[in-house]
Amino acid sequence: MSARAGWPVGLGRLVLPSVDSTNAEAQRLAPSMTGPVWILAGEQTAGRGRRARPWASPRGNFYATLLMQPREGAEVVALRSFAAALALRDAFVAVSDMPDAFRLKWPNDVLLNGGKVAGILLESAGAGQGVGHLAIGIGVNLIGAPDVAAVEAGAVPPVSLLSETGLRVTPEAFLDVLAPAFADWEARLIAEGFAPLRSAWLAHAARLGEVIRARTGREERVGVFETIDATGALVMRQGDERIALPAADVFF
């Protein structure tokens, strides 16, 4: 357990110089875990994002996973992606004092001045009818971002906190701010349900009320991003039709 000032009580902290990926390390630790723990790595040698896409992992950026044992069903467990996004935004605002610069992109990215500065990857393993453990992986471009040429065509261009703000923040210092922020949103989710998180997320949503493209497999839909529903699904309008998408890649 960490005794760092401001660190949430009962929350473990494991700092590794190098690892293949923090989510992979979480999977290895899960069978022996005795409580929630943050795993922070100085570098990842095989980092990955959504849909197993490679995640560039140079030293100085932030690579961490929160490993936890949620008690709810899979639908509620998945809502922690919104808690993570809100906690990330809180952490960015705390270190930069630039609240207007950060927006949340559905389903799991944080934007800085319109560019992608952070991403979230949830992975879970079942236990009976529930979820045995949950790994919330977070990558943040603190000092460097991938080359735009390496990003999928049409995707939001990557940026770094350093390039956009001039601020240099260490991974450990960022975790000191992120962990308490996530603990606060986790407590609200447990005590009050998804409603307050949904409202807060929508208040900082990118391109809300604007036309977006949502790609699900080989199908692409174009419509107005209206809201997210009580399950976290994206709701878009195409003409007179409202469509709820539980999963998709969104392009602006």
pLDDT tens-digit readout, 131-176: 789 999 999 999 999 887 777 777 899 999 999 999 999 999 999 9
Full set of structural domains in the chain with CATH: 12-203 (3.30.930.10), 211-251 (2.30.30)
Given the structure tokens 């770094």, which residue do they identify? 160
User: Using CA atoms, how far apart are residues 26 and 29, in angstroms rounded to an integer?
Assistant: 5
Q: How confident is the model at residue 56 (pLDDT cuts 50, 70, 90)?
A: low
pLDDT tens-digit readout, 102-122: 999 999 999 999 999 999 999
Count of alpha carbons within 13 Å of 147, Cβ hemisphere only?
2
- Cβ atoms of 156 and 118 closer than 8 Å: no
Q: DSSP assignment, residue 52?
A: G
Report the pLDDT value the prediction gives residue 71, as an integer from 0 to 100.
Answer: 86
Threshold 0.85, pTM exceeds: yes
Q: How confident is the model at residue 217 (pLDDT cuts 50, 70, 90)?
A: confident
62-68 sheet: strands from edge to edge: 12-16, 37-41, 62-68, 130-140, 115-127, 109-112, 102-105
Residues 6+ apart with CB under 8 A from 148: 157, 158
Q: Average pLDDT over the chain, rounded to whole?
A: 92
Average pLDDT score over residue span 209-215: 96
